[in-house]
Structure 1
């Protein structure tokens, strides 16, 4: 359940807003008069499944007005307890989903290129590089948890789903800068410590298999679905499963030690994971019907989604071909 606070001017639009609220069949709503005589505050207790439709209707009602604001507040509990008739929806099979505005706020924060993002990337790269080189599973897992690279990937997919070019391009910039910083840090670390090519954790990041793509796609689906349902806590497990930073740190360590073939394999693993995550997130956001409010914006978003899906499929196909070629080459050399 959520509470929607609508702060607006007392004009003819007020009655239209009230009708939109009633049409959404809320659990309850009330109007609060304010000190300013020309303003009112409406508190609406929403059912989970009716929130997005009401938000879209309110945007339509108020788009020609000025000086209005809508605030969305999650409700943890109420007293007295809601009866089953009050809490159940008209469609009991309706899936729980966060509002578009809630998802946008959560994802855009994770896709922002700021000082904290850069510091986290640098620190997680240091932890990953040392963990890989010392064959420390705990260190590698710790780097996966604190690495923030999943945020811009979800931001890219969500920006495409909404046709939001600002979020799309901003997430791309954040991801590129994050990966470049991780490579730079890991290369510098390779000059400071001797790279141990006997480390199983390090060498495993140069092993690229098709089951890794399946794992990344499953992790991407889980990440997008958890964001769509407003369950961001699940992302910690997804970060571990996606394993974005360790391959990036491995690329830098291999480059610094002159192991070009191993660096290429680790880079292929990193690219495969990123493409798989983007592809999976795009599909999930599309299936969950996350799209813009306006019809024309929906057309742009649809084109952006299918364009990026096509690019992702093409890149995944290229990665699969490279994996098969590398495997064949390895088998021929062994034979």
Structure 2
């Protein structure tokens, strides 16, 4: 169960909002007067799965008005126990509201000092772990890597047709990857590169099973986000698909191993495209879309464009993988 607090003016729209609340069949609701006589506070207790419908209806009723706000609060427990939903009524799947998801994603897609420091620290840990063949260090870098946020932000921006979020996530993702490359490149001049390290050389092995891993990780991350479930494990999976190959690119470049750097860069590009595409698919399947039909039309175009671009990157990456593998076989033969 959730609680929605609706702050609004006590004008002619108040009755419309009240009708929208009653139509959503809330568990309970009450109306409070505030210190300002022209303001009202409505607290609505509603079953999970109905929050988005109520929020959309209230926002539609208040469209064009000023000075209103809706806040969502979780209810950890309640007594007496809630009755089960009435038979014959389809129970909607539990899902975070569009506004909750947007708030989480927008925060993670922001490039700030903390994001920069976390990328630098995780790259240092990853580069040392890769070069020394230290599995524990690489896993540690996966845990602290913050690259999950901008990936989901890009997919969310495409799903909603939100150009501002798309641009912010794109800049943050590019800045994060660029920082990781620059940091690992600088480390390559300090660390003697060990080409015998299995952890390092595995990031130059581009295989199609890595595509399946990245697709699964991106889909799991988006599903975790929309279901309001803990995403720590998913964050590790996504970081594993992005940060280690990014750090490997810088190390190989610093060592002058351009062929290996190309392979690691190809793996990085393939993973980014797969993560974005799979997360975008999950957002669409979970019906994460704008409220108005005009915004939905723009979102559909953004989804189609980004899906096509991601698909083209995947196809090009797979084709290049097959070409490189064929070249290796020919040279060996």
CA distance in 2, matches of 1:172, 1:220: 16
* Counterpart in the other structure of 2:96: 98
Can you give the 5+ residue segments of structure 1 that lack an aligned partner in the other structure?
Answer: none
**Residues in 2 aligned to 1:145 and 1:296: alpha-carbon distance in whole angstroms:** 40
CA deviation profile, 1:131-182 (whole Å, cap 9, x unmatched): 0011000110111111111110100000000000000010000000100000
139, 149, 168: which one aligns with 1:170 = 168
Quote the residue 2:43 is aligned against: 43
Cross-structure match for 1:21: 21
Partner of 1:84, secondary structure, is coil
Give deviations 1:7-64, integer Å, cap 9, x for gaps: 1111111111000000011111111122221111100011112111111111111122
Residue 197 of structure 1: SS of its match in structure 2?
coil
- 1:71 is displaced (CA, Å) by 0.6
SS in 1 for 2:182: helix
Contact 2:219 2:282 in 1 (8 A): yes
User: What pairs with 1:77-92 in structure 2 (closer than 5 Å)?
Assistant: 77-85=77-85, 90-92=89-91
Match of 1:118 in 2: 116
| Structure 1 position 333 matched with structure 2 position 327 | no
How far residue 298 of structure 1 moved from its aligned partner, in angstroms, is 0.4
- C-alpha displacement of 1:235: 4.1
In structure 2, what is the Cα distance between the partners aligned to 1:116 and 1:20?
42
2:79 match: secondary structure: coil
Correspondences of 1:1-335 after superposition (within 5 Å): 1-85=1-85, 90-92=89-91, 94-231=92-229, 233-240=230-237, 242-335=240-333
Q: Output the TM-score relative to the length of structure 1.
A: 0.96
Contact map agreement 2:184 2:251 (CA 8 A) in 1: yes
Give the Å deviation of 1:78: 1.1
8 A Cα contact 2:217 2:237, kept in partner: no
Q: Find the aligned partners of 1:48 and 1:84 in 2 and give their Cα distance.
A: 12
SS of the aligned residue for 2:49 comes to helix
The Cα shift of 1:89 comes to: 9.4
Q: CA offsets per residue over residues 180-220 of structure 1, 9 Å max, x none? A: 00000000001111111110000000000000001100111
Deviation at 1:90, TM superposition (A): 2.9
- Partners in 2 of 1:256 and 1:273 — Cα distance? 22
Point out where structure 2 has 5 or more consecutive residues left out of the alignment: none
Q: Indicate if the aligned counterparts of 2:150 and 2:173 stay in contact, CA closer than 8 A.
A: yes
Determine helix, strand or coil for the equivalent of 1:166. helix
Residues in 2 aligned to 1:182 and 1:320: alpha-carbon distance in whole angstroms: 24
* 1:8 alignment partner, SS class: strand
